[in-house]
């Protein structure tokens, strides 16, 4: 008997092709799903890296009415070093002023956690190895504290808490700082302008010398400058600069003058 097997060839081939196509489609779906998962994971990791803090700002508040305050900036350097930059304003000390990162919070921090380079002439810089800002923040509460001198280590002159902030929040603070301009007094051959300026306690005034000559802004009376002794450009690291910045921490009406031309002067009124 003759059996015709050719009739089933085409349908069988079609079935095989369909099965293969279906299997290939399933593999393609799985591959696309895996690719999407990898992409999501990569984006999440990238976002995590972007959101890691790279800079912290710490306000150093005056302690014990010693006329010094300022700011510390904590910066991530590379992947395993943290740099701490301390700047104090006000009358600089003649002595080196020990500084540390302490456990706890201001105004009474605890034991020293990380020693910093002593502040000299109002500034210091320290690199802490094997450290990241993330790790530092995991150890909170911490505070940066500056002492009066090596012999008077129990006397604090400035202290500030290290605070964790989201990256977006830091950006907003930076924008606000940029938008808020410091009050300015311009000194020309006609004198200081404005002649009188009113500010809030804690605000910084910029005195800009446009006379083309040397000048040195200082509080009255001339030549002792004892009414507000810290308010004396010559006693700061800004001596000789064309611009002198001073943060007023005392409420009152403060008359001042150019020490090199005592007939030129003005007034700063500081309110609460």
| pLDDT single digits (tens) 28-84 | 555 666 666 666 666 655 555 555 668 999 999 999 988 999 999 999 999 999 999
Please give the pLDDT value at position 50: 54
In terms of pLDDT, which residue wins out, 7 or 38? 38
In a domain, 28, yes or no: no
In a domain, 49, yes or no: no
- Reported as a pLDDT band with limits 50, 70 and 90, residue 260 is very high
Taking residues 165-187, what's their average pLDDT?
60
Residue ending a domain, choose from 136, 165, 194: 165
pLDDT tens-digit profile of 102-131? Answer: 999 999 999 999 999 999 988 999 999 999
Q: Residue 224 maps to which CATH number?
A: 2.60.40.420
In a domain, 21, yes or no: no
pLDDT tens-digit profile of 92-102? Answer: 788 899 999 99
pLDDT tens-digit profile of 187-220? Answer: 999 999 999 999 999 999 999 999 999 999 999 9
In a domain, 17, yes or no: no
Please give the pLDDT value at position 119: 94
Query: What total of structural domains would you count in the chain?
Result: 2
- Reported as a pLDDT band with limits 50, 70 and 90, residue 179 is very low
Residues spanned by the domain of 250: 184-271
Q: Could you tell me if 220 and 255 lie in one domain?
A: yes
Please give the pLDDT value at position 168: 39
Is residue 138's pLDDT more than 90?
A: yes
Q: Could you tell me if 220 and 161 lie in one domain?
A: no
pLDDT tens-digit profile of 10-25? Answer: 566 666 666 555 565 5
Is residue 261's pLDDT more than 70?
A: yes
For the chain, give the percent of residues with pLDDT over 90.
Answer: 67
Does the model's pTM come out above 0.75?
Answer: no
Is residue 173's pLDDT more than 90?
A: no
Residue 210's CB: how many other CB atoms inside 10 A? 13
Report the C-alpha gap between 66 and 230 in whole angstroms.
Answer: 9
Residue 108's CB: how many other CB atoms inside 10 A? 11
Please give the pLDDT value at position 93: 82
Please give the pLDDT value at position 151: 93
């Amino acid at each position: 008997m003759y059996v015709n097997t050719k009739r089933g060839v085409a349908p069988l081939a079609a079935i095989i092709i369909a099965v293969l196509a279906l299997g290939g489609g399933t593999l393609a779906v799985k591959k696309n799903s895996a690719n999407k998962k990898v992409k999501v994971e990569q984006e999440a990791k990238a976002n995590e890296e972007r959101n890691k803090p790279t800079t912290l700002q710490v306000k150093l508040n005056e302690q014990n009415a010693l006329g010094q305050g300022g700011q510390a900036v904590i910066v991530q350097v590379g992947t395993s070093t943290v740099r701490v930059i301390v700047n104090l304003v006000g009358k600089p000390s003649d002595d080196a002023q020990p500084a540390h990162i302490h456990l706890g919070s201001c105004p009474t921090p605890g034991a020293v956690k990380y020693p910093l380079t002593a502040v000299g002439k109002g500034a210091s810089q320290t690199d802490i190895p094997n450290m990241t800002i993330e790790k530092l923040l995991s150890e909170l509460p911490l505070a940066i504290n500056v002492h009066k001198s090596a012999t008077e280590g129990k006397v604090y002159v400035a202290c500030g808490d290290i605070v964790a902030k989201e990256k977006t929040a830091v950006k907003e603070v930076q924008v606000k700082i940029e938008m808020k301009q410091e009050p300015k007094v311009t000194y020309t051959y006609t004198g200081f302008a404005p002649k009188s300026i009113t500010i809030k306690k804690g605000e910084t005034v910029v005195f800009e010398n446009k006379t083309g000559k040397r000048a040195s802004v200082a509080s009255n009376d001339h030549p002792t400058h004892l009414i507000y002794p810290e308010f004396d450009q010559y006693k700061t690291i800004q001596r000789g600069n064309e611009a002198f910045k001073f943060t007023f921490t005392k409420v009152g009406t403060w008359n001042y003058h150019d020490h090199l031309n005592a007939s030129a002067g003005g007034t700063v009124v500081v309110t609460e």
